Structure 1
Amino acid sequence: MATLSPDSERPAGAERLELAGDLTIDRATDLEQLLAGATGDRLDLDLSRVGGIDTVGAWLIHRTLRDRPGSRILGASAEVARLVEQVAAADRPCPVRPAQPPIWLQELDKAGRATIGAVISLGEGLGFVGTTLVATLRALLSPRGIRWHAVSRQIEETGINALGIIGLMSFLIGIVIAQQGAVQLEQFGAKIFTINLIGRATFRELGILLTAIMVAGRSASAFAAQIGTMKINEEIDAMRTLGLDPIAVLVVPRVLALTIIMPLLGFYASVLAIIGGGLLTWTYLDIPPASFVQRLRDVVPMSDFWIGMAKAPFFGAVIALTGCFQGMRVAGNAQSVGEHTTIAVVQSIFLVIVLDAFFAVFFTAIGFV
C-alpha cells in the first residue's frame, strides 16, 4: 500500500517531504491533502521511494512546483521525472473562446466558401445532367426501353394532382393583371388595351413562368425529399446491389414526366388566367366576353403562344433535374433531407427565372417581339 510520509528537516529554509509508494489516482486525495498542508514557501519533494506514478500524480507534483517557486524534486527515477516534465509541457494557457478574426475577414471567408461551394455544385450538377442524358439514351436503346409506367405515375403526381392549385393561382393572377392594368390604362382612356396586356403577358411570359414556379415549389421539393429519404435508408445502395441504375429508375422517369407535362400545365394555366382576366374586364370595364375574345384574337400573335410553349419543356427538365440532383446529394441524417429539399426549391426557381430571362433575350434577338 502506498505511503506518504513527511520529513521535518528543512535545509536552507525549505520544507522537505519524502513521498513513498505509488502516486496514482487512487491516492490523489491523500497526496493533495499532504501537499496542501505543507507550510513552507518552497518544498523539496523526495521521490526516491516512489514506485509508480500516473498523470494525476504527476499533475499534483507539477502544480506544487508551479505554485511554490523555488520548489524542486529530488531522487526521482527517469520514468517519474519524464512524466512530470511531459505534464509540465502540456500545462499551457488555453483561451476559452478562440480569438475571432475581424468582421470583414469573416465575411470575406463566407463569400469565398460560398463561391467555392457554388463552383463545386455547378460542376457536379453538369455531371449529373450528363449522366442523366446518358441514362436516357441507354434506356431508349435498351430492349426494355423507358419505364413508361413510372413516367405515367409521375405525370399523375406532378401534373394531374396539381391542376387544382395551378388553376386557382392562374385564375387569380389573371384577375390581378386585368385589375391593375385597367386602373392604370383607364386614366388615359385606353382601357381597351387591358386585353392586350392580359393576352400577351399571359401567353408569352406569366402563364408558363408562374406555373413553373408553382411546380418547382411543389415537385422539386417532393423529388428531393423522396430520393433523399431513399438514400438515407440505403435503398439506392440496394438498387445498385441488385444491378439497377438509380438514375434510370428514379431520375429519368421524373425528368421525362415534367418535360412532357409542363407544356400542358402551361397551356392550362394560361387559359385560366385569360378567363380570370376576361371576367374582370366584363364586370369592371363592361367589355362583353364576345368583344374580349375578338380583341384577344386580333392583338395576340400565335408567336406568343408558341414562345410560351417552347419554354415549358426546358423549365420542366430543369426543375426535375434540380430536385433529383439535390436528393442524390443527401447524406447523413434527416436534417440533410430538409436542407437539400430547401436548396432544391430555391435553386429550381432561380434557374427557371434565369432560363426565362435567357429565352426573353434570345427570342427578341431573333425577331420575335
Structure 2
Amino acid sequence: MGGFAEYELVEGDDGEQVLALSGPYLVSTIGSVDEELRHLDGPIARVDLSDISEIDTVGAWVASTVAGDHGAEVSGASNRATRLIEALKGSRGEEVVSAPRLPVWTRVPDAIGDKVYNARDGVFGVLGFLGALIAAFGNLIRHPRRFRWLALVRQLELVGVSALPIVGLMSFLIGIVIAQQGAVQLAQFGAETLTINLVGRITLRELGVLMTAIMVAGRSGSAFAAQLGTMKLTEEIDAMRTIGISPMEALVIPRILAAILMMPLLGFYAALVAIVGGAVIGDVMLGIPFYTFLARIQDVVPIYDLWVGLVKAPVFGLIVALAGCYHGMQVKGNSEEVGRRTTMAVVSAIFAVIVIDAFFAVFFTEIGWG
C-alpha cells in the first residue's frame, strides 16, 4: 500500500489530547513525519494506532518512543504492531553509557605489562625472520645462479645513488651548523682553530654515518615496508610462493645487501660533504682559508675515526633494511596495516640505530679508539 505516514492531534471523548497515527509507518515512509513527531508540544494522553495500514520495526519504535516521551498509552494497535512494540520494550536507554575506566595507578601498570608481555611476539617474529633470512642466504650460497643480480643493482641505485642529493644537502647543512656553533663556543677560550678538529672528528666518527642511517631509514626503510606490505596485501607474495619463487631470495635479500653495501659509501660521502660545509664557514667566519681547512683535517683527525664510521655503517644498514623488510612482510588485513607497519619500521629502525651507536661508542672507547 502506497502513501506517506501521517499524524493528527485530536481531542478524545474524555477531553484528553490524542495523537492519531495513520498511513503506512515503514522505514521508507516515516521520514516525512519523524522529525515533527520528535518535537511535539503539549501533553498527549494516548497514541492511537488504529488507522495505521502497515507497520514495521522502525514504525513501531517511533510510535513507542513518542508514547514514552509523553507518558501516553498506546491503543488501537494491531497484532503485528503489538508484537513489535513488546519486542522493543527496554531498548530505549536514557542513561549516559561510558566504558569503565580504572584509576591511573592501576591502568598505567596494566598497559605497560601488556606491552612488555606482547613484546615477546615481536621478538619471536624477528628471530623467525632472521632464521628464514639465514636459510635463504644458505640456499643462494649453494645455488649462486639463483641470485638476482638485476634486483640488487636496482636496489643499489634506489638506496644509494638516488639518495646522494638529499644526503649531501643534509650533511652540508649539518657541517655548517657544527662549525658555526662550535666556533661561537670555542671563541670564548680563544680556540677557534679547534673548530677544524670538532668538525672533522664528529662528522667522520659519529654524525656522518648516524644522520645518514636516519635518512636511509626514513627514505629506504619506509619504502621497503610499504612495497613489501602492498605486495603482501595484494597476494603477490603468495603468488610467488605458488610458482616456486622464494620471496626472501627475490625481494628481501637484494634490499638488505643494497643497504649494507651502500651505507659505508653514503656515510663516507656524508662526512666529506659535512667537512666541506664546515670549511665554508671556516673561510667566511674564522678567516681560515678553504683549502687550509681541508688540509688540516688530515693532521688533526686520527685515521681510526674514519674506521669507526666505516665499521658502524654496514651494521646500521643491516638494521634499517631488516626493520623495513620485516615489518613489510608482517602486513595483513587491510591497507591501514601498510601505513601502521611502515611507521613501525621507521621508528624501530631509528631507535635501534641510536641504541647500537651508543654501544659502539662504549666499545670503541674501551679498545682505545675513543
Q: Identical aligned pairs, as a percentage? A: 52
1:60 — aligned with what?
Answer: 86
Deviations 1:272-303 (A, max 9, x none): 00100011101110011333133211111110
Q: Equivalent residues in 2 for 1:246-285 (5 A)?
A: 246-285=247-286
2:342 — aligned with what?
Answer: 341
- Shift of the 37–124 alpha-carbon distance from structure 1 to 2, 3 Å rule, reads same
SS at match of 2:250: helix
Deviations 1:137-177 (A, max 9, x none): 21122141421111110010111001000000001100100
1:41 — aligned with what?
Answer: none
2:33 — aligned with what?
Answer: none
- Shift of the 294–332 alpha-carbon distance from structure 1 to 2, 3 Å rule, reads same
Q: Please tell me the residue identity of whatever aligns with 1:60.
A: E
Q: Please tell me the residue identity of whatever aligns with 1:347.
A: S
Q: Equivalent residues in 2 for 1:201-350 (5 A)?
A: 201-350=202-351
Query: Contact 2:167–2:215 at 8 Å: present in 1 too?
Result: yes
Query: Contact 2:140–2:147 at 8 Å: present in 1 too?
Result: yes
SS at match of 1:332: coil
How far apart in 1 are the matches of 2:233 and 2:317?
A: 26
Q: Please tell me the residue identity of whatever aligns with 2:110.
A: D
- Shift of the 168–94 alpha-carbon distance from structure 1 to 2, 3 Å rule, reads same
- Shift of the 225–293 alpha-carbon distance from structure 1 to 2, 3 Å rule, reads same
Q: CA deviation at 1:330?
A: 0.9
Unaligned runs of 5+ in 2: 1-54, 68-72
- Shift of the 146–188 alpha-carbon distance from structure 1 to 2, 3 Å rule, reads same
Matched, 1:124 2:125: yes
- Shift of the 108–95 alpha-carbon distance from structure 1 to 2, 3 Å rule, reads farther
Deviations 1:195-226 (A, max 9, x none): 00001001010100000000000011100000
TM-score between both structures, scaled by the size of structure 1? 0.75
Q: Equivalent residues in 2 for 1:1-369 (5 A)?
A: 36=74, 57=83, 60=86, 96-369=97-370
How far apart in 1 are the matches of 2:335 and 2:144?
A: 38
Query: Contact 2:275–2:294 at 8 Å: present in 1 too?
Result: no
SS at match of 1:163: helix
Q: CA deviation at 1:332?
A: 1.0
- Shift of the 152–62 alpha-carbon distance from structure 1 to 2, 3 Å rule, reads closer
TM-score between both structures, scaled by the size of structure 2? 0.75
How far apart in 1 are the matches of 2:263 and 2:142?
A: 25
SS at match of 2:189: coil
How far apart in 1 are the matches of 2:84 and 2:259?
A: 70
Q: CA deviation at 1:61?
A: 9.4
Q: CA deviation at 1:134?
A: 1.7
SS at match of 2:192: coil
How far apart in 1 are the matches of 2:87 and 2:335?
A: 50
Query: Contact 2:152–2:257 at 8 Å: present in 1 too?
Result: yes
How far apart in 2 are the matches of 1:331 and 1:61?
A: 41
Query: Contact 2:186–2:194 at 8 Å: present in 1 too?
Result: yes
How far apart in 2 are the matches of 1:343 and 1:121?
A: 12
Q: Please tell me the residue identity of whatever aligns with 2:236.
A: E
Unaligned runs of 5+ in 1: 1-24, 39-52, 64-87
Q: State which structure, 1 or 2, has the greater radius of gyration over its C-alpha atoms.
A: 1
Q: CA deviation at 1:194?
A: 0.5
How far apart in 2 are the matches of 1:168 and 1:96?
A: 55
How far apart in 1 are the matches of 2:175 and 2:87?
A: 84
**RMSD between aligned residues:** 2.8
Q: CA deviation at 1:120?
A: 1.7
Q: Please tell me the residue identity of whatever aligns with 2:324.
A: G
Aligned length: 303
